[in-house]
Amino acid sequence: MTRPAMQHDVIPRPSDIETRVANLNARYKHHAAFAVMEKALRDPEVGNVALVSSFGAESVVLLHMVSVIAPGTPVLFVDTLMLFQETLDYQRDVSRSLGLTDVRTIIAEQAALDLEDPDGTLHQFNTDACCTLRKTVPLEKALSGFDAWITGRKRFQASTRAALDFFEVETPTRMKINPLAHWGREDLEEYMVENRLPRHPLVAKGYPSIGCAPCTSPVKPGEDPRSGRWRGQQKTECGIHFIGGKPVRVKKDTAA
């Protein structure tokens, strides 16, 4: 005879990640960004969650939301060892001012750097290989212990994201969460102003999109905000994306 479920019983989540993602999108489809973030961090169907942050031009929005909801949420910050000093200072200052208590700096293994980029010049002749070595591989290793990670991807960024959901299947065991999927540029600006959030110091110097120092340049008025990234190159990767747990090339108009 099956006994009735008691209040303290733990109801197992579906093992099929596609089912879980569909359930989550149906459950939260009418929620605002902050509510999606709040519920995702506490929903057993989501599991163990990390926020991946570059501490770039718009990163402070999600960082602030996490600080209000659950400041102990793991925040993964990839230090490529080629970032602007301003980014490193901003990361330290924002983490402290927001009270984030579990910021993890992710760095490539020294053995890999010694083998593949011993003199630090790989970016000069193979930017894709440099990003893979210093960014995508270390992050994938750091994400291996999580069921989901929070991204800043938004529908307005590209036509291919026009139907972006709050929750996505990334691998058979991990999902992406996009709390800002429905936000526009004006929403980001309004949130930063209303909450008096500190801006990355390079934004005021003409850097609307900020990556590694050797591969980022100022943007002139009227130029695309991302035109300063890998300027003059046929570089297509603009963010960190995985399929089946492996880094993949992502075209500019679909990047995070």
Query: What is the set of active-site residues?
Result: 238
Cβ atoms 43, 28 nearer than 8 A: no
Scanning 48-119, the segments in alpha helix (DSSP H) are: 60-69, 85-98, 110-116
Give the CA count within 13 Å in the CB-facing half-sphere of 103.
Answer: 22
Please enumerate in sequence order all residues whose Cβ is within 8 A of that of 168, keeping only pairs 6 or more positions apart, or say none: 21, 175, 176, 177, 178
Pairing type for strands 148-150 and 49-52 reads parallel
Q: What distance in Å separates the CA atoms of residue 187 and residue 208, rounded to the nearest whole number?
A: 16
Q: What distance in Å separates the CA atoms of residue 256 and residue 153, rounded to the nearest whole number?
A: 5
